[in-house]
Amino acid sequence: MSNQLSLQRLGTVFVVLFLVGCVPAKTTAPTTMLIQTPTVMPVTLPSSRLPDFIPTVRAYGGMGYDEFQRSSMTELGLEYVQGLVDFTWGSIERGDDVWKWIATDEQMDKLAQAGLKVIAFIICPKSPGLPWDETITRDDPRFVAEYGEFAYEVVSRYHAHAAWSGLVAVWGGSADVWDHNYPATDPEVVVPLLNAAYDGIKRADPTTIVIGFNFATTAHSIEEWEEYHTRAFALSPKFDWYGAQSHGVLATHLESPGAYTGVVGLLNVRRFLDEHGYADRPLWLNEGGFGCGEDLGGLPEQTHAEQVIETYIVARALNVSLKGWVYFEYFSKTHLFEEGAADMGLLSALDEHDPPQPRLAWRALQTMIKTVRFFDYDFDSRISGEYNQPGPPFIYRFVYRERPTSKLWVVFSPQGVSKQKPINQDVTINIAPATQASLITMLGKKTTITADGSGNVTVTSTSSPTYVKIGE
């Protein structure tokens, strides 16, 4: 993961068929449905089956707000968390086979008591060598063996714990690869470490899913990304899911036709993996978020909330077999937690309110998760909308997993490139044979709308996603 402060958690999974090199076609009329049948990739799941798509918020403890975080995440509906448990190698193994589990045990037990589960991060330290002997560097076979043993010990100890999710992210932040100030970051060094951790994890628990790499797609050029991964994939890295970091690129933007940045850039990540022999590996968006606060270079609060929600919507409508999205932070340590950096939190910063107050993004997620129950639906079709365009509005249709007659439409006008403002306009949705639908705004206001004689309802598309549901 990047070395920014952060938070994470939660759960629901879905998998869709990827059409190589393209996105789903736009239809010409709002009443025309383009149906796409999901295809499930072969993945070994833990004994307790994971949900179909996992929206997660990184959640760092400390500052006296651990219990507040856990209770508010529960209120939001989150079940998984990444970041509240410290799995740092040097914190656990203080010397060769000298293990200190007390703090980690306490953190895991607290999560279990709160009804939450951890997505473990077996991070490779940014120091030159072993935590207890820096003369043994990353490219030394002894380092590789020790890293694999560390991964084995963590999973062996916790895979049966009530707070264990069955998911482990492996390796570390993008700075470990793209910032060449760190030693031994070449693929020829990284891949043996990935593989050692994978083997150790599987030896401890074959059902645990290993999310490998977890590198940024935003910190380097297209050419550098491709050159690095071509070399890495030639070495047969081992992972169940491929982890990427999209960071703050707007949900409907693709920076260039071949870019790997942002959520839409996952289309190219998917293509690259397919072309290099990894078509059976789903994606995991391990880090992404949006800065809040114009004075810090972030987004206005309303736009911030809209981008958080649109990312979940767009991510689930891409044909990239995406397993989930980890949002950067729950709340920031301080308003200016890093000089010149935007506040990435879903709740207000700690120096602004005590306790932190919900931002619009938090309320919007509460609506999406608890009121709309968005993650109980599978993507069905994209009726309207083009990436990198300020209009026409995006119209997506989803089908309730347990009752196909129940449907959900999501409507929003996208933020245009170069800060073009979204275009508000009326759109028509055909809900026949239903005659009434529930209309739910991004922040949870719910009304009933009635169709005309042809089964059509009219909805105003704005920058804020609006939900239309039938068959509740």
Out of 13-17, 335-339, 395-399, least confident range: 13-17
What pLDDT does residue 69 have? 85
Q: Angle at CA 44, nearest 5°, toward 39 and 50?
A: 80
What pLDDT does residue 60 have? 65
Cα–Cα separations (whole angstroms), residue 295 to 240, 247, 335, 336, 354? 41, 19, 11, 10, 21
As a whole number, the mean pLDDT across the chain is 84
Averaged pLDDT, 171-195 = 80
Write down the H helix ranges in 132-215.
Answer: 141-158, 175-178, 187-204
What pLDDT does residue 15 have? 30
What pLDDT does residue 24 have? 34
Answer yes or no: is pLDDT of 32 > 50. Answer: no
Which pTM value belongs to this model? 0.85
Averaged pLDDT, 338-353 = 75
Diameter over CA atoms, the chain: 77
What whole-number distance in Å separates Cα of residue 271 and Cα of residue 279? 8
Answer yes or no: is pLDDT of 338 > 60. Answer: no
Place of tokens 């100030």: 181
Band of pLDDT at residue 366, cut at 50, 70 and 90: very high
- In a 13 Å sphere around the CA of 423, the CA atoms on its Cβ side amount to 12
Q: Is 96:147 a contact under the CB 8 Å cutoff?
A: no
pLDDT digits (tens, 9 = 90+) for 275-322: 999 999 999 998 888 888 877 778 899 999 999 999 999 999 998 999
Contacting residues for 180 by C-beta, under 8 A, at least 6 apart = none
What pLDDT does residue 120 have? 94
SS3 content of the chain, % helix, strand, coil (to 5): 25, 25, 50
Domains of the chain, first to last: 54-378 (3.20.20.80), 379-470 (2.60.40.1180)
Cα–Cα separations (whole angstroms), residue 215 to 76, 272, 351? 28, 15, 31
Averaged pLDDT, 251-278 = 93
Residues of the chain with pLDDT > 70, as a percent, come to 84
Answer yes or no: is pLDDT of 172 > 70. Answer: no
What whole-number distance in Å separates Cα of residue 123 and Cα of residue 106? 20
Q: Is 457:451 a contact under the CB 8 Å cutoff?
A: yes
pLDDT digits (tens, 9 = 90+) for 77-88: 888 888 889 899
Averaged pLDDT, 426-430 = 96
Residue 131, φ and ψ in degrees, nearest 5 = -55, -30
Averaged pLDDT, 351-378 = 91
What whole-number distance in Å separates Cα of residue 270 and Cα of residue 233? 14
What pLDDT does residue 465 have? 98
What whole-number distance in Å separates Cα of residue 124 and Cα of residue 245? 17
Band of pLDDT at residue 418, cut at 50, 70 and 90: low
